[in-house]
Amino acid sequence: MTGSSGSDTPGQLPRDVYDAVLPPWRSAIRSVILKAVEIESPFLARMQNRLRNPWLDVYFLYTSSLGTHTFFMIALPILFFFGYHELGRGLILVLASGVYLSSFFKDLVCAPRPFSPPVTRLTIGTHHLEYGFPSTHSTNSVSMALFIFGHIHRAYTEHSAISDLVYSGSCVVLVAYVISIVFGRLYMGMHSATDCVVGVALGAGIWGAYVMVCDTIERLLSSSSWTGKGVPCTVVPVCLLLVHFHPQPVDDCPCFEDAIAFISVILGAFVARWHAVYAGIDDRLLQTVMPGGYGDEWTLRETLHWCFIACLKVNVGIIVIFVWRLLAKSVLHLVLPPLFRALAHRFDLPNRRFYTPATDYAHVPVENGLRPIPSVIDLPSALEVSGVYAEDARDGIKRRGRGATTKQDLLGKELPAYQGKELENGKGTTHLGAEVKHYDADVLTKVVVYAGIAIFGVEVMPVLFSLMGWGIKPW
């Protein structure tokens, strides 16, 4: 493990900066959450001192990858490759809502993670670069566990499709999964109890809302009436508006990129489902059975044949999605900047803070933006992060930016990238002395790429598998 300064984590600028930059109601919410973090950090540190050992470190470090959006982005297409379309759409909606809403509240509140030191923060990848409140891992784990439990409970009580032992075992596994993810966030010093409690409540609320609207959504996506025909005209603008109206953070936080990814997946999945129904693809090509999946008794030869086809489907499907990511990113980064520059002469294009407009750069660097292979491939890159203690966050203004008492002073002394900008409208350009990390072309690039991933996973690849004789449904 390697060390990193806690100044890398957002939410730990002097408090006066947030009070000056944020609207009063957002600053008031942040003050409440910040107080909870200050109180809980020493307790989390003492808990770590008593419980930490190398085995638990490894366990919680790697099980945390099961709660990341990257894991879900790889795992979800496989459901569609094997004909579990309704289950896949439900999981996409539940998980995407969790990622978007938790990212929305993170950027809205701008609250830090537990202070390090005294807490030792363990993380995989770059999750420590996001705000702390609420816990996205907790939200996703609870919403997904409740979603799966709903299907298991229905199969057990209404269809008698599973035995008592399978039902009980499934419930135990789901409870263990949630406890591992939620408690793991505390053990690893990534979240306070407040972050996790709110994350759990948010996940439960998302699942409850899904239960109420899931049948309506499925009817609309599968309807041949005029309401169903309006799906693209409704889903596309709503998803784009959700991207546009995501709150502006004070720090450079990657929460917005997570929100873009999953909202775009909803867009692509719903449009793909709509097209499959209206083009007649759903009945003709998405209901075929895989070779070897016929009958109640399989011979060894049929079983091996089925397993071989299943492996081919998974590998070919994921490779095609990776190739789409690479090609689409390269083409869009080539086409979008000059297009944005041309439009900027006629329109006042929207631009988020920390995202440099196309008028200020010639091209997007090759290494910037989406990688062809998701970061889950880099799981061994674990970090141990050391940060600033609560006193630094409370009193840092005395050491950094002393005497900055007005909003303009704070913006000028503490946040040079904000000069000439307003928090609420997000207009303006990056300060000339600031490091360029994001480009406006990245936003639309991610929308197109992730919507395309969903379209490939939900419709294109299953149709190809069916046409190639590999089938869709396992039996």
Positions marked active-site: 137, 191
Mapped onto helix, strand or coil, the DSSP state of residue 395 is helix
- Yes or no: say if 426 and 243 are a contact pair by the CB < 8 Å rule: no
Q: For residues 455 and 273, what is the distance between their CA atoms, to the nearest angstrom?
A: 9
Task: Report angle CA 48, 119, 63 to the nearest 5 degrees.
Answer: 60
* Alpha-carbon dihedral sign for residues 215, 218, 224, 226: positive
The DSSP-derived string for 190-219 is S--HHHHHHHHHHHHHHHHHHHHHHHHHHH
CB-neighbour burial class of residue 435 (10 A; exposed 0-12, middle 13-18, buried 19+): exposed
Contacts of 75 (CB under 8 A, 6+ apart): none
Task: Report angle CA 453, 458, 460 to the nearest 5 degrees.
Answer: 80
Determine how β-strand 121-124 pairs with β-strand 382-386: antiparallel
Largest Cα–Cα separation, the chain: 80
Q: Can you read off the two tokens belonging to residue 60?
A: 């919680």
End-to-end CA distance of the chain: give it in Å, rounded.
46
Q: Give the CB-side neighbour count of residue 159, counting CA atoms within 13 A.
A: 9
CB-neighbour burial class of residue 211 (10 A; exposed 0-12, middle 13-18, buried 19+): middle
* Alpha-carbon dihedral sign for residues 396, 401, 405, 409: negative
Residues 276, 279, 281, 282: what is their CA dihedral angle, to the nearest 10 degrees? 50
Across 369-414, the runs of DSSP E, i.e. the strands, are: 382-386
Q: For residues 418 and 117, what is the distance between their CA atoms, to the nearest angstrom?
A: 29
- Yes or no: say if 69 and 261 are a contact pair by the CB < 8 Å rule: yes
Across 223-364, the runs of DSSP E, i.e. the strands, are: 355-356
